[in-house]
């Protein structure tokens, strides 16, 4: 039945893509020739309707209304949750301010395999104008692929940077001494719960990982192959983000400990083994065949009881895949009974970055267009619009204060936005170390599909390889690692 559901979902997605393909492409840049033709037609109309105007004056007015030359800027982004709102606002900008500036912003979104795909593209020499570097790709900066925003001679850009200064953090926005991106949003990780399934099965909301397993068992067994207790995914971040980071209210630390400069995953034994046991016992949907968006779609359909959710998933279940079930948000379950001993973590997400290779290869007109698009994408206006739709929690308090959240925002948005007992996720040097062998996410995904393999064996291998790689990097001395070594204490 799980395979059947996956096949049906895949078919639906293909049909949806075909349907979308039959519509005019929302992100297709207008051709220069078409823009010139439009300007000429406008000029002719103006001359016909205003007898006193000269042809030259009409042509000049038309040129001002629609620049003959449109410069395309391509943003290859990782946004999925509030993609519709982002595209809608980009379309407005393209038709208004962007058009006036002679700039067309082309958005390409890839959430499921973004980092892997972009890494391969960059390695092969394919560079987009704007990319998402986020906090885990200092290696891209070290390779010369990312601009230091402070080096761009543009007054409006530098004023924008100044407006973000109270929120700029070393190790997040500044890496390798590059201001590679501006602060974007804080993203607490919580659990989305299908309350319809919990009420149907007479269950209380889970407080511990043991509760999660028992609830998943009841929901799945009573679901007769059509309802499943827990959502999982083939997406590697099921482990790093949706299991390990999400469990830090119980562990107090991630796999990298900035206090001791060491790697370890042993503290995540309970949540990791719970996820694996639910998979082996058939209580999950998606672990073997669904990427992140398809499993989100299944939660929205009402066939999944629980699925970890960063706060931007509010927009997923209200806009991208509107939920057909009643649902709520709870803090992630604890490893042991009682109040979590540590604060939960939120992800410090950054805005887009300017690709250095693309920027330096551009002429002055293209460089100005890239900066114009970057300024719009990091504007208070855009962040406010996304916040109003339940897509993000901006850093800037004045953006939140000035915004008017949509009247139809559900109670889940307030629950996601409660970060009273949440704090920043610790920084980690994963992307920098010269690791040999598979990365942690792949190892845990393989472990989950390997019956009988001990969690401790996987951890022992990872600890040995990651710590050896870090020691090699540190001894080499070519990269400043100071941002990853500091006192980190998130006790309540």
Report the distance separating Cα 368 and Cα 377, nearest Å. 14
The pLDDT of residue 316: 92
List the pLDDT tens digit at each of the 492 positions of the chain: 444 444 434 433 333 333 333 222 333 333 333 333 333 333 323 333 322 332 233 334 333 444 569 999 999 999 988 999 999 999 999 999 999 999 999 999 998 889 999 999 999 999 999 999 988 899 999 999 999 999 999 999 999 999 999 999 988 999 999 999 999 999 999 999 999 999 999 999 999 999 999 999 999 999 999 999 999 999 989 999 999 999 999 999 999 999 999 999 999 999 999 999 999 999 999 999 999 999 999 999 999 999 999 999 999 999 889 999 999 999 999 999 999 999 999 999 999 999 999 999 999 999 999 999 999 999 999 999 999 999 999 999 899 999 998 888 999 999 998 999 999 999 999 999 999 999 999 999 999 999 999 999 999 999 999 999 999 999 999 999 999 999 999 999
Determine the length of the chain: 492
Report the distance separating Cα 63 and Cα 40, nearest Å. 8
The pLDDT of residue 68: 61
Which three-class secondary structure state does DSSP give residue 242? helix
The pLDDT of residue 67: 54
Which three-class secondary structure state does DSSP give residue 482? helix
Q: CB under 8 Å, gap of 24 or more: what pairs does 379-387 form?
A: 379/160, 380/163, 382/86, 382/89, 383/184, 383/185, 385/85, 385/89, 386/82, 386/85, 386/86, 386/89
The pLDDT of residue 25: 30
Q: Could you tell me where the DSSP H helices lie in 378-435? A: 380-388, 397-402, 411-417
């Amino acid at each position: 039945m799980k395979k059947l559901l996956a096949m049906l979902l895949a078919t639906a997605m293909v049909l949806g893509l075909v349907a979308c393909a039959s519509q005019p492409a929302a992100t297709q840049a207008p051709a220069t020739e078409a823009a010139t033709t439009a300007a000429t037609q406008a000029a002719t109309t103006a001359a016909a309707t205003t007898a006193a105007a000269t042809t030259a004056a009409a042509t000049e007015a038309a040129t001002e209304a629609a620049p003959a030359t449109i410069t395309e800027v391509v943003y290859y982004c990782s946004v999925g949750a509030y993609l519709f709102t982002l595209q809608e606002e980009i379309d407005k900008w393209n038709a208004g301010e962007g058009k006036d500036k002679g700039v067309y912003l082309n958005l390409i979104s890839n959430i499921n395999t973004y980092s892997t795909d972009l890494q391969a593209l960059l390695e092969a020499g394919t560079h987009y104008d704007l990319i998402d570097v986020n906090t885990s790709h200092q290696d891209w900066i070290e390779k010369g692929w990312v601009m230091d925003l402070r080096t761009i001679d543009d007054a409006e850009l530098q004023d924008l940077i100044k407006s973000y200064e109270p929120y700029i953090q070393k190790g997040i926005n500044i890496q390798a001494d590059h201001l590679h991106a501006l602060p974007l949003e804080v993203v607490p990780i919580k659990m989305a719960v299908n309350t319809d399934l919990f009420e149907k099965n007479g269950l209380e909301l889970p407080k511990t990982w043991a509760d999660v397993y028992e609830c998943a068992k009841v929901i799945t067994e009573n679901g007769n192959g059509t309802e499943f207790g827990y959502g999982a995914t083939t997406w590697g971040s099921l482990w790093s983000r949706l299991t390990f980071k999400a469990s830090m209210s119980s562990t107090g630390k991630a796999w990298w400990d900035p206090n001791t400069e060491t790697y370890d995953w042993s503290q995540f034994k309970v949540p990791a083994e719970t996820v694996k046991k639910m998979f082996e016992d058939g209580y999950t949907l998606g672990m073997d065949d669904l990427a992140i968006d398809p499993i989100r779609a299944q939660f929205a359909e009402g066939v999944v009881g629980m699925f970890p959710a960063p706060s931007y998933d509010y927009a997923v279940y209200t806009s991208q895949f509107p939920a057909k079930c009643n649902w709520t948000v709870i803090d992630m379950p604890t490893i042991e009974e009682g109040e979590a001993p540590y604060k939960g973590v939120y992800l410090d997400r950054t805005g887009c970055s300017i690709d250095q290779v693309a920027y330096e290869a551009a002429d002055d007109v293209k460089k100005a267009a890239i900066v114009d698009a970057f300024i719009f994408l990091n504007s208070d206006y855009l962040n406010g619009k996304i916040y109003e739709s339940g897509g993000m929690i901006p850093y800037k308090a004045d953006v939140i204060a000035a915004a008017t959240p949509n009247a139809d925002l559900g109670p889940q948005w307030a629950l996601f936005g409660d970060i009273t007992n949440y704090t920043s996720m610790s920084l980690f040097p994963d992307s920098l170390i010269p690791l040999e062998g598979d990365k942690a996410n792949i190892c845990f995904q393989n472990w989950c599909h390997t019956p009988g393999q001990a969690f401790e064996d996987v951890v022992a291998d990872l600890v040995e390889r990651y710590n050896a790689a870090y020691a090699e990097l540190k001894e080499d001395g070519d990269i400043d690692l100071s941002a990853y070594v500091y006192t980190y204490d998130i006790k309540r």
